[in-house]
Amino acid sequence: MNKFLILALFVCSTTLWANEWSGNVALEYIQFSKDALSTSQFKQYGSVSVQPEWFHEWDGGKQSFIFVPFSRWDQHDEKRTHLDIRELSWLKVFAESELRVGIRKVFWGVTESQHLVDVINQTDLVESLDGEEKLGQPMINYALIQDWGTLDFFVLPYFRERTFPGIDGRLRTGLVVDTDNPLYESDDEEKHIDYALRWSHSLGDWDIGLSHFNGTSRDPLFIVAIDGGGNLVLRPVYNLMQQTGLDLQATKDAWLWKLEVINRRLQDDNYMAATGGFEYTFYGILESSSDVGLVMEYLYDDRGNSATTPFADDLMLGLRWTINDENDTNVLFGVIADRDDSSRLYSIEASRRIGESWKLNLEARLFKGLNDSANLLYSLRQDDFVKLELAYYF
Amino acid sequence: MKGIALLFSLVAFTGAVLAETPEEKGLAIAVEADKRDQGWSDQATVMKMILRNSQGAESMREIRGKTLEVKGDGDKSLTIFDTPRDIKGTAFLSFTHALKADEQWLYLPALKRVKRISSSNKSGPFMGSEFAYEDISSQEVEKYKYKFIKDGEVNGLAAFIIERYPQYKKSGYTKMVTWLDKKMYQPLKIEFYDRKKSLLKTLTQHGYKQYLNKYWRPARMEMVNHQTGKSTTLLWVSYKFKNGFKSRDFDRNSLKRAR
C-alpha cells in the first residue's frame, strides 16, 4: 500500500503536474567605514541567506501553488538572523477573475524614491534600509478583471510586525526597538482583520491605480519604555488607519511621468503625502548600446517637521546606467537631499551577472550632514557602508 | 465562364505588373507576404538564444513566447524568461502598433512589480543580444516604405531583393535589404544599415518548416554584427498554433502570473 502511494506520488510529481524547484543562496559582507556609536556594534558583518522556491501548476495552468521560504543567518545581529515565509499561496484563474489565497507579496505604485501607496506588506527592515524587502502577508485576494480595469479585493486576516535590528546590529535607532512588546490600537492586536480595495487600469499612455486600505498601519510609532532587563527601549505602537491612495504614470516616448498621492487618517492625525517626478532615458548614448536614465522626484508630507518619515520636503536625483550587455550590468546612483537641513543620503546600487548562475550585487550608502538630532535619521550618522553580495541561482 | 473571368483577371494583373514602379512592386510583394501570413490567430513558441562575443565566448537564454494575432493592428505578445536563473520569471508584455508607439510592461518577480516601460528603445539590444527590439517586434506593412531592387537568390533559393525603409520613429536603421523567398514569401536574409548608412548587421534565417499547411517559420536565425564582431543565434525549439489564446491572456494580470 505504502509503495503504491509513493509510486502514485512519484507519477504525479513527474508527469501530471509541472513542478519545479528554483531559488538562490547568497553570501553577504557589509563593511562600515566609521566606528559605531555603541560598543555592542561591529564594523564588519558577514551573513548568508537562502530563498528556495517550489512551484506547482495544474489544471492547464489555471491553478498553481507556490512556496517561497526565506532565511538569513547574520554573524552578529541575532535579530537579523530570521526566517520568513515570503509566499505560500494557491492561485485559481477564472475567465474574468483570479483568486489567490495564502501568504503573498503585493506591490502597488510607480515612483522610485519611496513607496507611499504600497501598504499591503510589512517591511522586512533588517534586510534592507530602503524598505523594498517585504515580509509575506496572509491574505485572500480576489481580482475582478473587466474592460474598465481590474478591481482587487483584499482580506488581510493577520498582521505582521516590522523587523528591526538588534542591539548588535547597525543601521538602527539609538535605543533598540523592543519587538517582543508591540502595542496595538486594536484590541484584536495582530489578529485584527484588515481590508483593502484597489482599482487599476491602463488607458493609452496612462496607467492609473486608486486604492483604499482600512486596518492596522504597517508603519509603527514609538514610545520610550523599559524592558524586562531594565534597559531603555523603543516600544513600537501600531495604530489603525484609513489610507486612500492614487498612483499615476504617463508614458510619453522616453519620458515617464510619475505621481503617488496618499491621504492617511489615524486616530489623532490626518495628513497628505506625495511623491512626484519623472524618469527620462537617453537610449544608446555615444553610439554604444548603453542607456542612461535620469530620475528626479520630489517627496512631500504636509506635516513638515512633525512628519513621522524623514522625507517631508526632499528632492531625489537619480542616474541609472544600463549597459545592455550579456551580463545585465547596471548601476543606479542616487541622492535624496532634505530641503530643510543639509542632510543628504547618497546611494549606489550596482549588479552584474557572472557566468550563467552567479550574480554580484553592490550597494553603498553615505549619510551626510546629519548634524541635527531632530532629524529622524540622526542615529545613522556613523553608518556609511558598502555591502557586497554574491548570489548563486539554481 | 469561370475560365474567362480568370483569364480576364490574369490579363489585368499582368498589365498592372508592367506599369509598376519599383516602389509599387516592393509594396505589392510586402502586401502579399503579409496576406499569406494572416489567420494563424495565435502561437506559442519556445526558443533558445545563444549570445557570442567577439572572442567567441557564449552565453545562453531560454525564452518562451505567446503571441496573439490582432487584425488591423500590431500583435500582442507575452515573453517569459526562464534562464539565466537570476531573471527567471521576468516577463515582458507588448502591444505593438504599426506607426503609433507600442505599449510595453515589464514584470519584475523579485519585487512583484509591474512597470510600464518606454517603447522608445526600438534600436536597443533585446536581452543583451544582437537582436534589437525592432527586429523582434511584429512586422506590419505600414512600418516601412519599400523598393523592389532585382531578383536574386540565397543558397540556390530564388528571392526578391527588396529594400525597406523604416517609417516609425526611433529606428536604428536607414535601410534594410531583404532577400524574400519567392515561394514562401519569407525572408532568407536581411542586411541592416545603420543611421550612418553603413552595413551594421546581417540576419540569415534557416530551416523553414510549414505549419497548418500555410505558415512558414524558420528553425534558426543567425544575426551577425559586422561592426562589433558579436553574433546571436536564435533556435526555435517549438511552434504551436491555435492555442485558443484570448486578449485576457495578454493583460497585466496574466503578466504577473506568467511562468
SS3 for A174-197 is CCCECCCCCEECCCCHHHCCEEEE
CB proximity under 8 Å: A 7-66 to B: 22, 24, 55, 57, 61, 64
| pLDDT 10s digits, B185-241 | 999 999 999 999 999 999 999 999 999 999 999 999 999 999 999 999 999 999 999
CA nearest neighbour of A61 among B91, B114, B257, B78? B257
Q: Comparing C-alpha atoms, which of A138, A127, A130 is closest to residue A72?
A: A127
* Phi, psi at B5, each rounded to 5°: -60, -45
- Contact yes or no for A255 and B86 at CB 8 A: no
Cβ-Cβ pairs closer than 8 A, A with B, add up to 99
Alpha-carbon distance A236 to nearest alpha carbon in chain B (angstroms): 26
* Nearest partner of B234 among B43, B45, B44, B48, judged by Cα: B48
Residues making up chain B, counted from first to last: 259
Break chain A into its structural domains and give their ranges: 18-393
| Closest Cβ–Cβ partner in A91, A143, A353 for B84 | A353
Nearest-by-Cβ selection for B118 from A143, A202, A253: A253
Distances (CA, A) of A237 to A217, A221, A240, B146: 9, 5, 10, 69
**Cβ distance A45 to A170 under 8 Å?**
yes
**Contact across the interface for A24 and B86, Cβ inside 8 Å:** yes
Query: Of A93, A89, A105, A211, nearest to A144 (Cα)?
Result: A93
> Which residue shows C-alpha cell 494572416?
B38
Low-confidence ranges of chain A (pLDDT < 50): 1, 4-5, 7-16
Calculate how close chain B gets to A356, using CA atoms only, in Å: 6
Instruction: Answer with the residue of higher pLDDT: B13 or A37.
Output: A37
CB-count burial class (<10 Å; 0-12, 13-18, 19+) for A381: middle
List the one residue out of A218, A185, A257, A254 whose CA is nearest residue A117. Answer: A218
pLDDT of B10 strictly over 80 = no
Q: Give the pLDDT band (50/70/90) at residue B144.
A: very high
* Amino acid identity for residue B150 in this structure: K
Per-residue pLDDT, A12: 44
Cα–Cα distances (Å) from A285 to A266, A326, B8, B175, in that order, read 48, 18, 57, 21
Distance of alpha carbon B221 from alpha carbon B124, whole angstroms: 19
The pLDDT value recorded for residue A41 is 96
| Residues of chain B contacting residue A249, judged by C-beta atoms under 8 Å apart | 116
**Residues A102 and A138 sit within 8 Å (Cβ to Cβ):** yes
For chain A, count helices (H), then strands (E).
1, 21
CA-CA distance, A219 to A236, in Å (whole number)?
A: 9
pLDDT number for residue A205 = 94
Please indicate whether, in this complex, the C-beta atoms of B84 and A91 are within 8 angstroms of each other.
Answer: no
Q: Which pLDDT belongs to residue A71?
A: 98
Q: Which of B55, B113, B250 to mutate to test the interface with A (most CBs of A within 10 A)?
A: B113
Are B117 and A251 inside 8 Å of each other by CB?
Answer: yes
Euclidean distance between CA atoms A156 and A34, whole angstroms: 42
Q: Alpha helices of chain A — where are they, by DSSP H?
A: 2-11
What does the block give as the cell for B55?
572572442
CATH no. of A18-393:
2.40.160.10
Query: β-pairing, B76-83 with B113-117?
Result: unpaired
**Residue B19: its pLDDT value, please?**
65
Helix (H), strand (E) at residue B117: strand B113-117
Cβ contacts of B57-62, under 8 Å, gap ≥ 24 = B59/A326, B59/A355, B59/A356, B59/B84, B60/A356, B61/B127, B61/B129
Nearest Cα to Cα of residue A28 among A136, A176, A128, A132: A128
pLDDT at A10: 47
Domains delineated in chain B? 23-256 (2.50.20.10)
How do the residues of chain B divide into helix, strand and coil, expressed in percent and rounded to 5?
20, 45, 35
What's the mean per-residue pLDDT of chain B? 90
Best residue in B116, B196, B246 to probe A by mutation, most A CBs within 10 Å? B116
Sign of the dihedral through C-alpha A7, A17, B45, B107: negative
- CA-based nearest residue to A351, from A381, A313, A389, A314: A389
Give the chain B residue nearest A98 (alpha carbons).
Answer: B253
Q: What percent of chain B has pLDDT over 70?
A: 93
Measured CB to CB, residues of chain B less than 8 Å from chain A are: 51, 53, 59-60, 83-88, 101, 103, 111-114, 116-121, 123-125, 128-129, 169-170, 172, 248, 251-253, 257, 259
How close does chain A come to B154, measured CA to CA in Å?
A: 31
Using an 8 Å Cβ cutoff, are A243 and A222 in contact?
A: no
Asked if residue B84 has a cis previous peptide bond (ω within 30° of 0), the answer is yes
pLDDT at A5: 46
CA distance A110 to A199: 15
The Cα-based distances of A93 to A56, A96, A140, B151 in angstroms read: 14, 8, 14, 52
Do B248 and A96 lie within an 8 Å CB cutoff?
A: yes
Q: What's the pLDDT tens digit per position in B52-85?
A: 999 989 999 999 999 999 988 889 999 999 999 9
pLDDT band at B4 (very low <50, low <70, confident <90, very high): low
- The DSSP-derived string for A74-114 is ESS-TTTSEEEEEEEEEEEE-SSEEEEEEEE-------SS-
> Mean of the pLDDT values across residues B97-120?
91
Q: Which residue has the cell 554604444?
A: A288
Closest by alpha carbon to B59, among A351, A53, A358, A23? A358
Contacts of B86 in chain A (CB under 8 A): 24, 328, 353, 357, 359, 391, 393
| Cβ within 8 Å, pair A57-B124 | no
CA dihedral over A368, A374, A380, A382, signed as positive or negative: positive
- For residue A263, what pLDDT is reported? 98
Nearest by CB to A107, from B88, B113, B116: name it: B113
Q: Which three cell numbers stand for residue A243?
A: 489610507
B252 chain-A contacts, CB cut-off 8 A = 150, 200, 202
Tell me the pTM: 0.90
pLDDT at B100 over 90: no
A107 close contact with B: CB closer than 8 A: yes
The CA–CA distances, whole Å, from A165 to A81, A370, A387 equal 10, 20, 16
